[in-house]
């Protein structure tokens, strides 16, 4: 039977970058930082190549930046835009590879490390997909590596949710599923709920108790002045904390100089246990995650810096603590809201540690919080690229770890007809010892550590310590 292609060949209009998009794009162009994100999916069986090609045709219809390239625009300080790639072909972005070694999970991680650090080809849309074969037990894996300037983690999550929903709908209807036309994503009712859960709770961070992110009436002049005063005070506190962090940095900033080396470690934790511990401490799953990683770093740093009083955490949230309908509906781009906070070092009792994390988050993520990274992004066009990369790397190096949390679906995902067994998000290692990403999927918190080997001399030991910290915080009474 010959399957007819139903690919949408119409080209979208140029899509201007936002300041945040442009900042991560310029960082990727430099030699100090690589802000590439990815997702590693373990599939339950083999995948037909044509099915994989068709699946990506649908993905590109859902997320048009995947078939676009970055072009400069005329005019002073005008940001680049995404413009349709005239000769775009999905097959140019796909590769079939065989896992190294015997095909174990560790062999897959080593293969993924090497693939993730390969540069994108110039002049094309910055993403690549890899079908990894030769795994034990007859399974396969899929690795999507994509520029952070195309989408952040929450927007990438929407892509897979839409693909999964389309696959279920087509399966129920008994229709052929070889690349039907799909409109660009907006927020469906389910997706909006998911985004709200990420911003306000669920497995993700929640807003501070100090203020609701809901819509409020227009403020009076007095209220506006009071808010401005609070924000000025918070800005001064942030500058003080940033300077303190640079002075008490956990180690020197790495000098990548265009060469990057990473070490991946994965860990699966029961979501029910995480929620149980969060409830006991009046926190969230995200608070438990941060506390567990902090406990692991305490183990790692024993005898190295025993007098250190706090660990510093860099955390991108999925959106602003204020109601942001535009971000909630966005199908592409970067809409993160960065917070930085301290966690007490050496606090061994899990519940007080989780409560301490919640208290720290309350102080930095609330309705008066300032989007300071968004402000920095607006200065990107006038900063020399070398300065931007060096300053960004130095600031991130003042943190012990970066942590990200993406609520995944409770229903089954699939790629090209194969069911997803496990799913691991890969956030970039950008100056700190490790970047930790939690992706919840079907009742399991699947954690990926992306350890920077230029910062950590013994990445396997750090991985073991963080694993022990996370597992220990769940079993402790």
Which pLDDT does position 379 carry in this prediction? 87
**What is the distance between the alpha carbons of residues 104 and 107, in angstroms, rounded to a whole number?**
5
DSSP symbols for 372-438: HHHHHHHTGGGS-HHHHHHHHHHHHHTSSEEEEEEE--SSPPEETTEEEEEEEEE----SSSEEEEE
Looking at residues 216-229, what average pLDDT do you find?
60
Adjacent-strand bridge partners of 414: 419
Lowest mean pLDDT among 23-32, 282-291, 444-453, 458-467: 23-32
Determine the number of helices (DSSP H) and then strands (DSSP E) in the chain.
13, 15
Which pLDDT does position 185 carry in this prediction? 45
Lowest mean pLDDT among 15-24, 165-174, 413-422, 459-468: 165-174
Looking at residues 225-237, what average pLDDT do you find?
59
Question: Could you tell me if 404 and 435 are in contact, meaning their C-beta atoms sit under 8 angstroms apart?
Answer: yes
Mean pLDDT of the residues in the chain: 81
**Is the per-residue pLDDT at 216 higher than 50?**
no
Three-state DSSP class for residue 230: helix
Tokens of 128: 């690549």
Length of the chain: 477
- Per CATH, 15-179 and 221-410+429-475 having the same topology is answered yes
Reported confidence tier of residue 311, pLDDT bands at 50, 70, 90: very high
Q: Which residue has the tokens 């770093």?
A: 297
CATH code assigned to 221-410+429-475: 3.30.559.30
Lowest mean pLDDT among 56-70, 137-151, 251-265, 310-324: 251-265
Which pLDDT does position 429 carry in this prediction? 87
Could you tell me the residue ranges of all domains in the chain?
A: 15-179, 221-410+429-475
Which pLDDT does position 224 carry in this prediction? 63
Which pLDDT does position 215 carry in this prediction? 39
Return the higher-pLDDT residue of 388 and 203: 388
Three-state DSSP class for residue 141: strand
Looking at residues 255-264, what average pLDDT do you find?
70
**The CATH classification of domain 15-179, taken from the options 3.30.930.10, 1.20.1440.230, 3.30.559.10, 3.40.1110.10:** 3.30.559.10
Cα–Cα separations (whole angstroms), residue 106 to 38, 100, 134, 300: 18, 10, 13, 22
Looking at residues 439-450, what average pLDDT do you find?
95
Give the distance from CA 396 to its chain's centroid: 15
Return the higher-pLDDT residue of 366 and 316: 316
Return the higher-pLDDT residue of 82 and 244: 82
Give the distance from CA 222 to its chain's centroid: 39
pLDDT digits (tens, 9 = 90+) for 40-93: 999 999 999 999 999 999 999 989 999 999 998 887 778 999 999 988 999 999
**What is the distance between the alpha carbons of residues 296 and 470, in angstroms, rounded to a whole number?**
7
Instruction: List the alpha helices (DSSP H) in 285-324.
Output: 285-300
Which pLDDT does position 12 carry in this prediction? 53
**Is the per-residue pLDDT at 231 higher than 70?**
no
Which pLDDT does position 13 carry in this prediction? 66
Which residues 6+ apart lie within 8 Å of 74 measured at CB?
none
**pTM for the model:** 0.83
């Amino acid at each position: 039977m010959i399957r007819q292609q139903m690919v949408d060949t119409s080209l979208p209009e140029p899509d201007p970058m936002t300041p945040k998009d442009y900042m991560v794009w310029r960082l990727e162009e430099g030699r100090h930082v690589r802000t590439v994100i990815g997702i590693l999916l373990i599939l339950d069986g083999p995948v037909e190549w044509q099915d994989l090609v068709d699946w990506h045709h649908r993905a590109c219809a859902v997320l048009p930046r995947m078939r676009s390239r970055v072009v400069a625009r005329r005019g002073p300080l005008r940001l680049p835009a995404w413009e349709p790639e005239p000769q775009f072909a999905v097959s140019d972005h796909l590769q079939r590879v065989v896992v190294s070694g015997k095909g174990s999970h560790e062999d897959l991680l080593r293969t993924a490390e090497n693939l993730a650090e390969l540069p994108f080809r110039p002049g094309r849309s910055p993403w690549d997909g890899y079908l990894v074969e030769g795994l034990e037990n007859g399974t396969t894996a899929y690795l999507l590596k994509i520029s952070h300037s195309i989408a952040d983690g929450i927007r990438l999550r929407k892509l897979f949710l839409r693909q999964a929903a389309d696959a279920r709908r087509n399966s129920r209807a008994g229709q052929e599923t070889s690349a039907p036309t799909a409109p660009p994503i907006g927020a469906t009712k389910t997706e909006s709920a998911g985004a709200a859960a990420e911003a306000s709770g669920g497995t993700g961070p929640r807003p501070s108790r100090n203020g609701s992110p809901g819509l409020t009436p227009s403020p009076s002049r007095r209220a506006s002045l009071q808010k401005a005063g609070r924000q000025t005070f918070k800005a001064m506190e942030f500058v003080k904390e940033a300077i303190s962090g640079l002075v008490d940095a956990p180690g020197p900033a790495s000098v990548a100089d265009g060469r990057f080396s990473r070490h991946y470690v994965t860990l699966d934790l029961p979501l029910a246990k995480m929620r149980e511990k969060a409830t006991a401490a009046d926190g969230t799953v995200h608070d438990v995650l941060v506390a567990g990683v902090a406990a692991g770093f305490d183990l790692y740093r024993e005898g190295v810096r025993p007098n250190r009083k706090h660990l510093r955490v860099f955390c991108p949230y999925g959106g602003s603590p204020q109601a942001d309908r535009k971000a909630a509906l966005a199908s592409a781009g970067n809409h993160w809201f960065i917070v930085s906070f301290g966690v007490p070092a050496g606090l061994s009792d899990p519940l007080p540690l989780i409560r301490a994390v919640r208290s720290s988050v309350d102080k930095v993520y609330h309705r008066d919080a300032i989007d300071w990274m968004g402000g920095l992004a607006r200065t990107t066009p006038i900063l020399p690229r070398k300065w931007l990369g060096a300053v960004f790397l130095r600031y991130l190096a003042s943190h012990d770890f970066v942590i990200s949390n993406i609520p995944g679906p409770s229903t089954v995902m699939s790629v090209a007809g194969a069911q997803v067994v496990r799913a691991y998000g890969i956030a970039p290692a950008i100056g700190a010892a490790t970047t930790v990403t939690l992706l919840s999927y079907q009742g399991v918190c699947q954690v990926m550590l992306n350890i920077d080997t230029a910062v950590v001399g013994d990445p396997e030991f750090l991985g073991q310590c963080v694993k022990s910290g996370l597992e220990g915080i769940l079993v402790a009474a």
